[in-house]
Amino acid sequence: MKYNKFIDHTLLKQDATPEQIISLCNEAKQFDFMSVCVNPHYVPLAAEVLEGSDVKVCTVVGFPLGMNMTKTKIQETQLCIAQGATEIDMVINVGMLKAGHDDYVENEIRELKSVCGNLILKVILETCLLTDEEIVRACIASKNAGADFVKTSTGFSSGGATIHAVKLMRETVGETMGVKASGGVRTHEDLINMIEAGASRIGTSSGAKII
């Protein structure tokens, strides 16, 4: 099996430079990864470097805390798409989920999916902060709202992807949605383990090394 198209080649560090983003994009073209995942500021640059390739431009919205107002997330999504993003990874409002306001979480996802239209929307749950029951509820909200993927982590909290969380997410959403494992996937073995657990996309900054 070819694993390159499982990978979102990722650089979301606060100190990432334009030169590093260009290098990321060139690696993504070299290895024919599914996408590069960059912060919104670098969407225009990534779109320019990747023009003419089949590597998608993925960016993050409400990142990394998810505590922005819904209107802010909507506007950020609109601007990112206008500047060349073709996939959006949004962070849910974890506090509202934990407080039992699943309707808020679901409605926010639905509004962003409406903006994305046919473009892929991935929903970052930040599973390290959630109980199993909360992971299930977040997955159900994402599915009900029409999202395309659920994603484990931002990589900026207290933990990344785990086999347990990926299995639970896959069991909950079934085969109609994607599951993205992100955070701490650094080796070929990690990648295989996540795919076997049910992941259909891998977010990693170690894509070149893994392949």
Within a 10 A sphere around the Cβ of 184, how many other Cβ atoms? 17
Residue 64's pLDDT is 98
- Tell me how far apart the alpha carbons of residues 161 and 201 are, in angstroms, rounded to a whole number: 12
Would the pLDDT of 2 be above 90?
no
Above pLDDT 90, what percent of the chain? 99
Question: Hey, is 84 helix, strand or coil?
Answer: coil
Q: What is the tally of structural domains in the chain?
A: 1
- Residues 6 or more apart in contact with residue 180 via CB below 8 angstroms: 8, 89, 122, 149, 150, 151, 152, 199, 200, 201, 202, 203
Alpha helices in the chain (DSSP H): 18-31, 43-50, 70-82, 94-98, 102-116, 132-144, 163-173, 188-197, 207-210
User: Would you state the pLDDT for residue 194?
Assistant: 98
Active site residues: 89, 151, 180
**98-121: pLDDT as tens digits:** 999 999 999 999 999 999 999 999
Kindly tell me if the per-residue pLDDT of 1 is higher than 90: no
Query: Which range of residues forms the domain containing residue 15?
Result: 4-210
Q: Which two tokens mark 87?
A: 């996939």
CA distances from 138 to 72, 107, 164 (A): 21, 12, 15
Q: What is the CATH number of the domain that holds 199?
A: 3.20.20.70
Is the pTM value of this prediction over 0.85?
A: yes
Query: DSSP secondary-structure letter at 175?
Result: T
pLDDT in tens, 48-59: 999 999 999 999
Report pLDDT digits (tens) over 3-21.
999 999 999 999 999 999 9
